[in-house]
Structure 1
Amino acid sequence: MRITYAWLLAAIMSPAILASCGGKEDVKQQNPAAMAVPVTAYPVKKQAVTGTDTYPGNIVSLQEVELRPQVSGYITNIFVQDGQRVTKGQKLYEIDRTRYQAAYQQAKANLQSAQANLERNQKDLQRYETLEAREAIAKQQVDYARTNVQTAQAQVAAARAQVSSAANELSYAIITAPFDGVIGISNVRVGAQVSPGQPLLNTIYSMAPIAADFVINEQEVPRFANYMSNPKAQPDSLFTIALNNGQVYPHVGKLITVDRSIGRQSGTTTVRVEFPNPERQLIPGMTVDVRVLNQDIGQQVVIPYKAVTEQLGEYFVYVIQGDSVHQQNVQLGTRFNGNVVVREGLAADQNIVLEGIQKLREGAKVQVGDAAAQQQAPAKR
């Protein structure tokens, strides 16, 4: 009986012991830490690059003036068509000049009267001074004559000021172009009543040259300040424009100013670049992409951007070292066509992981497969 029970107990426990041993072997074989991760490698190489930084920009006029009336009255003439090119001094609008012409003529007449009065008083004074020399007239009367001359002189000065004021008002009735440019769409028509400052008649703006404004953050200010202080050191085609239809504007620009201060809330400032505009292709208000050459020019280390991982604002790639990988920090530059320039952290002829990154960690074992997915995108923009 005892032998029978011992045999039965051994029969029950043996499978459990074997299963336990086999399970440990299976866990050991299935431990991810002991398994090589299949990856695809990418051989790092240098390519010819023309790197640019792109900023959203707005086209603005270097000169822009709102045309507003300085005197009141009715619009009697509009001398230009909407959107017409105008030259400096060209007549644009006329306000009814009748009363201003009359006021000017009245002021001139008052001036002539004051001048005649002055001449009469001056002659009287001369006669009185002659009599005074002979002691043939009271000194008080001579003093009165001198006072009359002074009063007449003041009246002449006042009359001249009135003539100047009336002439200005008469000239304000004709509104002329302050510079060469293009006039916009008129906000008034003939017969409209206007008063000083109201309403806005039109806007005139210059077209050539023209400018593009874009915003930079305060970390970039030293770079653009250096461009300002060393204009001769700027490379050719430093500033270019890409239009909304994808075309590249045929003329290059030059930096003319960086705004005087940094916004307290935004931490940014505005840069203005001047461009030729002979064909009037650029119009104020247009949105464009301003491209600025950066340091990524010439032969640069270039890798596919999908080989890069980001952690807490830093960028890394996995460098293959034998049968394992090392997580390498890199400094990135210009991105283009799915690729990115690596400014620091990698050298040509190193191999990095292109596919299979999600399963990797520092020091992980890897099994490198064929590099069929390697990218050969062009490096120039």
Structure 2
Amino acid sequence: MPGQSKFPSLTCTLLLGALLATGGCKETSKPAPPPPPEVIVQTLAGQTTPLMVDLVAEVKAYREVDIYPRISGQLIRQSFKPGQKVKEGELLFSIDPRAYDEAIIDAQAKLAEAESVLARARQDVARYKPLLPDNAIPRQTYDQAVAYEQQNTAVAQARRAGLEKARLDRSYADVRSPISGQIGLQKIEVGALATAGQTVLATVSTLDPVVAYFSIPEVDYISFAKRFQAQKRESKAPIDLILADGSTYAQSGQLDFTDRALNPATGTLTLRAVFPNPDGLLRPGMNTRVRIVHEVAQNALLVPQKAVTELLGKQFASVVLAGDKIEQRPIRTGARIGELWLVEEGLKAGERIVVEGLQKARPGTVVKPLDAATAGKP
């Protein structure tokens, strides 16, 4: 339009140019990198550690004897209370002795008869012998007298042995304990007939000490045997007994028996340990575990079982290197001690291993390690 100013158009043009220039200079911001993942690490340090193994065991009496009668007859008396302690030689049962008393009287009579005949035979020999030099009697008569004496000597000895046997049988009418220990419940009641060598009357067990039987696999036996041979020592380490409630029995035991051969069916070797039992806490038939300390390792490296991963039959640990970078390293473990592994190869003292957060500790990853000793503490 004539007379209209051109300044407004110029102003708009300048403003638009300024806006375009400002927009062209603005740069797009990049997102910040994520922080390194946190993991819990443990610094390895050598320590003196007892190496042990736990094995299932069964407690049995040190000695256990079934009481059998040595003669047959009717039980007329029981001289103990079931469960009481008895001493060696103590009277337990009585068998009706009347038949055996009569056998003694009969044997005495037969012996007296045989000794009487023998005495007469000796008198004849003594009378005939002086007559031989003068040929007052035939030699044959004297020889017959000597033979008759010898025959009756043998008869008298047999009768004397018969009397001793009768007396011995009579003594067996009193059934006595062959050992000191604790007697169980009677297996036959008074009035019943007991048969010699067949009827079990009761059982006596020696309960102080007791024994624990256990077995070890062939592989473990070979390992222990080689270790002891290399160290030129015998296995005299104390053995602990772990009871069913998880507690450890107060007194340690000692190994006192190793079987001569392995069981071919199970491939195990049976051993036995003796444990004192003065308070009678241990009872035959208890299912327990024995704990054997077979070696004390010096400067041993122990790692938690959760820090060890297995892949295709091999074991690995995640090691934090310089710069907090993760390396997955193959290792070899030995004995298991509670919740720990004894490391035999692959790690050394002073190195840091990941014990928690393994899923975040991939090989080559940089992590933020937190010491297990202080992690979680304010």
Q: Same fold (TM over 0.5)?
A: yes
Residue identity opposite 1:42 in structure 2? V
Checking the alignment, whether the CA contact within 8 Å between 1:214 and 1:272 is kept in structure 2 is yes
Structure 1 CA distance for aligned equivalents of residues 242 and 353 of structure 2: 34
1:328 corresponds to? 330
1:343 aligns with 2:344: yes
1:199 Cα deviation after fit: 2.2
Secondary structure at the aligned position of 1:126 is classed as helix
Quote the offset at 1:332 in angstroms.
2.8
Alignment of 1:266 onto 2:266: yes
CA contact (8 A) 1:44 1:303 kept: no
Deviation above 6 Å: which 4+ runs of structure 1? 372-376
Match of residue 32 from structure 1: none
Q: How many Å apart are 1:312 and its aligned residue?
A: 5.2
User: Which residue in 2 is equivalent to 1:57?
Assistant: 57
**What is the CA–CA distance in structure 1 between the aligned matches of 2:75 and 2:143, rounded to whole Å?**
54
- Aligned CA distance change for structure 1 residues 375 and 262 (closer, same or farther; 3 Å): farther
TM-score, with length taken from structure 1: 0.79
Distance in 2, matches of 1:113 and 1:158, equals 12
Cα pair distance change 1:243/1:298, threshold 3 Å: farther
Contact 1:224 1:258 in 2 (8 A): no
Shift of 1:88: 0.8
Check whether the contact 1:44–1:301 (CA below 8 A) recurs between aligned residues.
no
- TM-superposed CA distance for 1:308, in Å, is 1.2
**Residue 44 of structure 1 aligns with which residue?**
43
CA contact (8 A) 2:60 2:211 kept: yes
Task: Measure how far apart 1:127 and its partner are.
Answer: 0.8
Any conservation in 2 of the 1:44–1:302 contact (CA below 8 Å)? no
Matches within 5 A, 1:256-295: 256-295=256-295
* 1:28-39 paired onto structure 2 within 5 Å: none
Superposed CA deviations along residues 107-147 of structure 1, whole A, max 9, x for unmatched, are: 12211221221111011111111222321112221121111
**1:294: how far off?**
3.4
Deviation at 1:212, TM superposition (A): 1.3
Q: 1:300-359: CA deviations, max 9, x gaps?
A: 3222211112345543323334534233122232332x3333233321221223345468
The alpha-carbon distance between structure 1 residues 298 and 327, as it changes in their structure 2 partners (threshold 3 A), is closer
Describe the shift of the 1:43–1:373 C-alpha distance in structure 2 as closer, same or farther (beyond 3 A).
Answer: closer
CA contact (8 A) 2:41 2:369 kept: no
Matched residues in 1 for 2:349 and 2:201: separation? 64
**Which residue number in structure 2 is paired with residue 73 of structure 1?**
73
Aligned residue pairs total: 335
Whether the 8 Å contact between 1:77 and 1:93 is mirrored in structure 2 is: yes
Q: Offset of 1:370 from its aligned partner? A: 4.4
Q: How does 1:191-270 map to 2 (within 5 A)?
A: 191-221=191-221, 223=224, 226=228, 230=233, 234-235=236-237, 238-270=238-270
Residues 242 and 352 from structure 1, CA distance in 2 versus in 1: closer, same or farther, beyond 3 angstroms?
Answer: same
Query: 3-state DSSP class of the match of 2:58?
Result: strand
* 1:14-44 residue CA offsets vs partner (Å, 9 max, x unmatched): xxxxxxxxxxxxxxxxxxxxxx995725233
CA distance in 1, matches of 2:209, 2:131: 73
Paired residues of 2:318 and 2:326 also in contact (CA < 8 A): no
Look up the SS of the partner of 2:300 in the other structure: strand
Corresponding letter in the other structure for 1:330 = R
Tell me if the contact between 2:331 and 2:343 (Cα under 8 Å) persists in the aligned partners: no
1:171 aligns with 2:136: no
Matched-pair identity in %: 30
Structure 2 match to 1:104:
104
Shift of 1:78: 0.8
SS in 2 for 1:208: strand
- Aligned equivalent of 1:94: 94
Partner of 2:158: 158
CA positional deviation for 1:263: 1.1
Distance 1:165 1:224, change over 3 A: farther
Deviation of 1:224 (Å): 6.1
| Aligned AA (2:301) | V
- d(CA) in 2 for partners of 1:39, 1:308: 18
Corresponding residue SS for 2:208? coil
2:129 aligns with: 129
Deviations 1:79-123 (A, max 9, x none): 111011011111111111110111122112211221221111011
- SS at structure 2 position matched to 1:136: coil
Q: What code does the residue aligned with 2:349 have?
A: A
Structure 2: runs of 5+ lacking an equivalent: 1-34
Structure 1 portions without partners, runs of 5+: 1-35, 377-381
The amino acid of 1:120's aligned partner reads R
> How do 1:305-316 and structure 2 match up within 5 A?
305-311=305-311, 313-316=313-316
Q: 1:159 offset after TM fit, Å?
A: 0.9
Is residue 209–residue 275 contact of structure 2 (8 Å, CA) maintained in 1? yes
Bigger drift between 36-45 and 60-69 goes to 36-45
